């Protein structure tokens, strides 16, 4: 069961991802096929075609129209968007180095960037969302030698503070866009999910930085030490407490995370401009972090399917009025930018894995 359960989980994620992608592509291709058929005044009428004929028309016209929309993006806009995407990675490196310094773990910016790019590659191409985090924890531990638990703790703190800041950004942006939230029931439902995520994340962060539920309960701590790797878990719990005792660190780290969220919005805004879409920055300040919060949930690999559906559904509301094909193209271009940086990480992994012993982790994971 230990081996089968992860496989079943990954298969379920692939199935959900595939179903979501097929659903949104089919809906858009169907619409494009119908419009093309009626625009060309072909006979018989669209309503008189069989379902099989409509599918054939849809999948012959739809992909061509989506590609036509994507290919219209301005080259300078796409290049600038790649710069914004790279900036989010480098801001993440700076944030992680702040976390590492709390435990006296010093990584050069170049070394931390190298590890983060490889982690970005793992997160993009491996099932699940833990591959990149495991990579970062592994190499932070290698660099620090005798602080393996502390290194793992830095990755957890970096992840939870980043998520908390994203949720803060989302809640504030939603509050500033109440008319948009009321424009469609989907926005209302997503807003409530995000508020629930914010409350839950705030609770987890508060408990983690205070030492967890076992704080002041010796019997719980004794039980924890009896678990497999219990001593490591106890050190990991203790490693989180210094972060909660340093308000200056929390302010700086959350501020950097909020800046990262803003750059993510600029990334999407640049691509929207490149496609000639008229979407106000104010609306994107709410929509982009809301979509990102949903993508964080481990429903599909790298959020594929979830992201595309949300872009199409949220940008199609009358207050914004973006065509489905254009919204899908915007989402695909965002994904393409992320994959470009993932390929950089993949090149680093392939070229430097022997020098930095990355193959050792690969062997351990495949064992």
The residue ranges of every structural domain in the chain are: 76-366
Structure-derived torsion over alpha carbons of residues 133, 138, 144, 145, reported in degrees to the nearest 10:
160
Q: Region of 212 please: left (phi>0), alpha (psi -120 to 50) or beta.
A: left
- Give pLDDT, residue 337: 92
SS3 of 104, please?
coil
| C-alpha distance from residue 261 to each of 110, 118, 279 (Å) | 23, 21, 18
Beta carbons of 26 and 54 less than 8 angstroms apart: no
Most distant CA pair in the chain, distance: 79
Tens digit of each residue's pLDDT, the chain (367 residues): 444 565 676 677 677 777 777 877 887 888 888 888 888 888 888 888 888 888 888 888 888 888 888 999 999 999 999 999 999 999 999 999 999 888 888 888 988 898 889 888 888 765 444 457 777 777 777 776 667 777 778 888 888 899 999 999 999 999 999 999 988 899 999 999 999 999 999 998 888 887 655 555 555 555 555 555 556 566 667 777 788 788 899 999 999 999 999 999 999 999 999 999 999 999 999 999 999 998 888 777 667 778 888 999 899 898 998 988 999 899 999 999 998 998 998 888 777 665 555 445 545 554 4
How far, in Å, CA of 348 to CA of 352, rounded?
6
- Give pLDDT, residue 128: 45
Number of other CB atoms surrounding residue 26 within 10 Å: 14
Q: Which of 261, 352, 286, 272 is nearest to 74 (CA)?
A: 272
- Give pLDDT, residue 187: 93
Q: Which of 324, 356, 341 is nearest to 23 (CA)?
A: 324
- Give pLDDT, residue 78: 96
- Give pLDDT, residue 233: 61
Q: Which of 139, 146, 151, 85 is nearest to 112 (CA)?
A: 139
Query: Which residues, at least 6 apart from 348, have a Cβ–Cβ distance to it below 8 Å?
Result: 114, 117, 118, 121
């Amino acid at each position: 069961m230990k081996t089968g359960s992860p496989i079943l989980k990954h298969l379920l994620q692939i199935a959900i991802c595939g179903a979501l992608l097929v659903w949104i592509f089919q809906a858009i291709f169907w619409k494009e096929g119908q419009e093309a058929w009626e625009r060309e005044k072909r006979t018989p009428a669209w309503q008189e075609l069989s379902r099989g004929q409509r599918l054939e028309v849809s999948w012959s016209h739809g992909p061509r129209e989506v590609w036509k929309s994507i290919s219209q993006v301005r080259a300078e806009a796409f290049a600038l968007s790649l710069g914004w995407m790279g900036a989010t990675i480098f801001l993440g490196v700076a944030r992680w180095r702040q976390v590492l310094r709390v435990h006296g773990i010093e990584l050069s910016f170049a070394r931390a960037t190298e590890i983060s790019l490889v982690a970005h590659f793992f997160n993009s191409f491996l099932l699940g969302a833990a591959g990149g985090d495991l990579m970062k924890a592994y190499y932070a531990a290698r660099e620090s030698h005798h602080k393996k638990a502390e290194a793992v703790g830095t990755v957890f703190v970096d992840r939870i503070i980043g998520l908390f800041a994203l949720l803060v950004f989302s809640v504030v942006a939603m509050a500033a866009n109440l008319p948009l939230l009321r424009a469609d029931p989907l926005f209302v439902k997503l807003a409530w999910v995000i508020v629930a995520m914010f409350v839950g994340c705030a609770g987890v962060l508060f408990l983690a930085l205070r030492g967890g539920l076992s704080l002041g309960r010796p019997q719980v701590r004794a039980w924890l030490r009896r678990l497999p790797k219990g001593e490591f878990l106890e050190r990991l719990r203790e490693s989180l407490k210094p972060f909660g005792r340093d308000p200056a660190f929390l302010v700086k780290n959350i501020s950097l995370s909020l800046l990262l969220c803003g750059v993510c919005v600029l990334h999407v805004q640049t691509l929207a401009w490149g496609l000639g879409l008229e979407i106000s920055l104010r609306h994107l300040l709410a929509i982009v972090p809301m979509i990102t919060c949903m993508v964080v949930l481990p429903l599909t690999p790298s959020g594929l399917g979830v992201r595309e559906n949300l872009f199409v559904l949220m940008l199609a509301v009358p207050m914004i009025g973006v065509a489905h094909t254009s919204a899908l193209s915007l989402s695909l271009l965002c994904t393409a930018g992320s994959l470009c940086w993932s390929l950089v990480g993949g090149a680093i992994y392939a070229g430097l894995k022997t020098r930095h012993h990355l193959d050792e982790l690969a062997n351990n994971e495949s064992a």
